[in-house]
């Protein structure tokens, strides 16, 4: 494993009886980057994360984290890792401060780490409050604070913005960006909020039905996201037939019209085909796929 690699998974597979949750998955996360791990529900994201952290044993394959192999009994790498997996957890009968103090002792972090984390996560007004009495969003803040308290080199986050209001999502986005850019912390995050991942991630891994379909950086993603024309029409079926007769084949129905994968230079040709077919239309607007559209196209358009 190269010294600039934080996570390396090779041929990672997990089977449960007749069900294969993760199949021959290979991924590489470089140190200091923000890596977005995307997939539909049931695609194998959480199972993969649990294998990366040694919480479950893979059926086949291997993992290295921060240069150390992940295997039964191996714990050294965990001192350099912070994680938030599946849901925010805390001891409900302990206060926010007591939860963080317990985490500090477990990780042997310095005394000042608790106050620093309370300030960092905006938990000052809630420090004396029992964790069980917090809102879901503040429990998420507390869980993320526990993951960051010991200043890990790698943070593994499963849905870190879950339960946060829009302002909280922006705060977490800026926090993760700062940790990566200014402190060299590696961030591995799974999220269903694709707009957030698109703004944050340096590289993406897209998993579907347990397989890694693609691993690409931001520049490669920009090149692969296709241009299209958004056509407003009250008669999409007739419009699609007219476009097909004119040689335009990659057409799909959307709200209030059609989406035709073609560049803006083809706009006059599209308009001519619709006019010749007597098809009413309200406009033709050039657009480009966003991450969500590209993701759905790559995974077969499933929701």
pLDDT of residue 264: 93
Domain count within the chain: 2
Residue with tokens 């394959």: 61
Domain end call among 175, 199, 223: 223
As a whole number of angstroms, the distance between CA 157 and CA 207 comes to 16
β-pairing, 227-232 vs 257-260, is antiparallel
Domain that holds residue 291: 227-298
pLDDT of residue 165: 80
pLDDT of residue 303: 43
Residue with tokens 């035709």: 260
110 and 180 share one domain: yes
pLDDT of residue 299: 84
Q: What is the CATH number of the domain that holds 259?
A: 3.30.70
**248, part of any domain:** yes
CA-based nearest residue to 120, from 178, 54, 162: 178
**303, part of any domain:** no
Q: Which helix (H) or strand (E) holds 146?
A: helix 136-148
157 and 280 share one domain: no
108 and 16 share one domain: yes
- Write out the chain's pLDDT in tens, 303 residues: 557 999 999 999 999 999 999 999 999 999 999 999 998 888 899 899 999 999 999 999 999 999 899 988 777 888 899 998 866 778 999 999 999 999 999 999 999 999 999 998 999 999 999 999 998 888 888 998 999 999 999 999 987 877 778 888 888 888 889 989 998 999 999 887 787 788 889 999 999 999 999 999 988 888 888 899 999 999 999 999 999 999 998 898 888 899 999 999 999 999 999 999 999 999 999 998 888 888 888 887 644
The structure's pTM equals 0.81
pLDDT of residue 203: 94
pLDDT of residue 39: 87
Task: Write down the H helix ranges in 5-95.
Answer: 45-52
């Amino acid at each position: 494993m190269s010294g600039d690699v934080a996570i390396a998974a090779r041929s990672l597979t997990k089977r449960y009886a007749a069900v294969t949750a993760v199949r021959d998955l290979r991924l590489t996360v470089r140190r200091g980057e923000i890596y977005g791990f995307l997939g539909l529900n049931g695609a194998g994201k959480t199972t993969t994360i649990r294998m990366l952290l040694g919480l479950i044993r893979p059926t086949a394959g291997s993992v290295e984290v921060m240069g150390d192999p992940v295997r039964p009994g191996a714990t050294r790498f965990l001192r350099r890792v912070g994680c938030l997996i599946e849901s925010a957890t805390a001891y409900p009968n302990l206060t926010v401060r007591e939860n963080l103090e317990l985490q500090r002792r477990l990780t042997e972090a310095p005394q000042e780490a608790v106050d620093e984390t309370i300030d960092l996560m905006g938990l000052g007004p809630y420090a004396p409050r029992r964790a069980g009495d917090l809102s879901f969003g503040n429990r998420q803040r507390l869980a993320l604070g526990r993951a960051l308290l010991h200043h890990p080199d790698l943070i593994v986050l499963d849905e870190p913005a879950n339960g946060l209001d829009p302002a909280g999502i922006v705060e977490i986005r800026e926090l993760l960006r700062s940790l990566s850019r200014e402190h060299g912390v590696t961030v591995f995050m799974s999220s269903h909020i694709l707009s957030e991942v698109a703004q944050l991630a340096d590289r993406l891994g897209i998993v579907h039905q347990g397989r890694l379909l693609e691993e690409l950086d931001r520049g490669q993603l920009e090149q692969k996201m296709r241009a299209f024309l958004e056509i407003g029409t009250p008669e999409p079926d007739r419009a699609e037939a007219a476009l097909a007769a004119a040689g335009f084949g990659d057409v799909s129905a959307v709200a209030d019209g059609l989406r035709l994968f073609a560049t803006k230079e083809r706009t006059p040709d599209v308009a001519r085909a619709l006019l010749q077919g007597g098809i009413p239309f309200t406009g033709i607007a050039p657009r480009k796929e966003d991450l969500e559209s590209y993701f759905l196209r790559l995974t077969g358009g499933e929701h």
